[in-house]
Amino acid sequence: MNTDDRRSGGRRRLEPHRRDLADDQLSSSKVAKKVKSPLWAKLVVVLGALLMVASGGVAATVNVMLGKVDDAVDQESMLGDSVATPTEKGPVLQGPLNLLLIGVDERTVSDDPEGTRADTIIVFHINAAHDKAYFLSVPRDTLADIPAFPKTKFGGRKEKINAAFQHGSDNGGGRTGGFELLANTVSKVTGITFNAGAIVNFAGFQSVVEALGGVNMCIDQKVTSIHRDVKGNELPSGVPAMTYQPGCRHLEPWQALDYVRQRHTSGGDYDRQRHQQQFLKAVAKEAMSQGMTDVGKLNRVMSAAGKTLTFDPGAAHLTDWIFLLKGIGTDGIQMVRTNGGEYASVKCPDKSSCQYLTAKSLKMFAAAKSDTLEDFLAENPTWLAKA
The answer to whether position 327 is within a domain reads yes
The answer to whether position 191 is within a domain reads yes
Q: Tell me, what's the pLDDT at 165? A: 94
- Sort 58 into a burial class: Cβ within 10 Å, 0-12 / 13-18 / 19+: middle
Instruction: Give the residue-averaged pLDDT of 119-130.
Output: 90
Same domain, 33 and 169: yes
Same domain, 20 and 142: yes
Q: What is the CA radius of gyration of the chain?
A: 20
The answer to whether position 91 is within a domain reads yes
H or E stretch at 122: strand 120-126
The answer to whether position 284 is within a domain reads no
Same domain, 178 and 220: no
Instruction: Give the residue-averaged pLDDT of 64-81.
Output: 74
Percent of the chain with pLDDT over 70: 67
Q: Tell me, what's the pLDDT at 214? A: 87
Q: Is the pLDDT of residue 372 over 90?
A: yes
How far is residue 7 from each of residues 3, 99, 317, 363, measured CA to CA in Å?
6, 16, 9, 31
Same domain, 265 and 316: no
Instruction: Give the residue-averaged pLDDT of 132-147.
Output: 92
Dihedral (CA of 305, 138, 193, 106) sign: positive
DSSP string for residues in 352-380: SEEE---HHHHHHHHHHHHT-HHHHHHH-
Pairing of strands 143-146, 353-355: unpaired
Closest CA to 21 of 87, 79, 66: 66
How far is residue 353 from each of residues 103, 105, 140, 141, measured CA to CA in Å?
22, 22, 12, 8
Same domain, 137 and 263: no
Q: Tell me, what's the pLDDT at 3? A: 39
Cα–Cα distance for residue pair 130/37, rounded to 1 Å: 13
How far, rounded to the nearest angstrom, does the alpha carbon of residue 180 sit from its chain's CA centroid?
15
Read off the amino acid at residue 246: P
Domain that includes residue 254, residue range: 208-272
The answer to whether position 7 is within a domain reads yes
Q: Tell me, what's the pLDDT at 50? A: 39
Cα–Cα distance for residue pair 206/257, rounded to 1 Å: 6
Same domain, 189 and 298: yes
- 321 within 8 A of 66, measured Cβ to Cβ: no
The answer to which of 127-136, 157-166, 235-244, 370-379 has the lowest mean pLDDT is 235-244
**CATH (domain of 137):** 3.30.420.590
Same domain, 254 and 308: no
Overall domain count for the chain: 2
Same domain, 253 and 345: no
The answer to which of 164-178, 195-209, 373-387 has the lowest mean pLDDT is 195-209
Same domain, 171 and 258: no
* Average pLDDT over all residues of the chain: 76
The answer to whether position 277 is within a domain reads no
The answer to whether position 285 is within a domain reads no
* Backbone torsions φ then ψ of 302, nearest 5 degrees: -65, -40
Instruction: Give the residue-averaged pLDDT of 216-221.
Output: 89
Q: Strand, helix or coil at 151? A: helix
Instruction: Give the residue-averaged pLDDT of 115-127.
Output: 84
The answer to whether position 288 is within a domain reads no
Same domain, 231 and 347: no
- 289 within 8 A of 218, measured Cβ to Cβ: no
Residues 231/233/238/242 CA torsion (nearest 10 deg): 50
Cα–Cα distance for residue pair 137/132, rounded to 1 Å: 17
Closest CA to 313 of 25, 81, 77: 77
Distance spanning both ends of the chain, measured CA to CA? 39
**15-62 pLDDT, tens digit each:** 333 333 333 333 333 333 333 322 333 344 444 443 433 333 333 444
Same domain, 171 and 251: no
Point out the domain boundary residue: 241, 272, 303: 272
* More confidently predicted of 378 and 92: 378
The answer to which of 127-136, 264-273, 308-317 has the lowest mean pLDDT is 264-273
Closest CA to 339 of 272, 260, 268, 270: 270
**149-175 pLDDT, tens digit each:** 999 999 999 999 999 999 999 999 988
Same domain, 257 and 118: no
* More confidently predicted of 61 and 201: 201
- Sort 128 into a burial class: Cβ within 10 Å, 0-12 / 13-18 / 19+: exposed
Q: Strand, helix or coil at 202? A: coil
Residues 220/225/231/232 CA torsion (nearest 10 deg): -100
Cα–Cα distance for residue pair 296/21, rounded to 1 Å: 26
- 257 within 8 A of 199, measured Cβ to Cβ: no
Percent of the chain with pLDDT over 90: 35
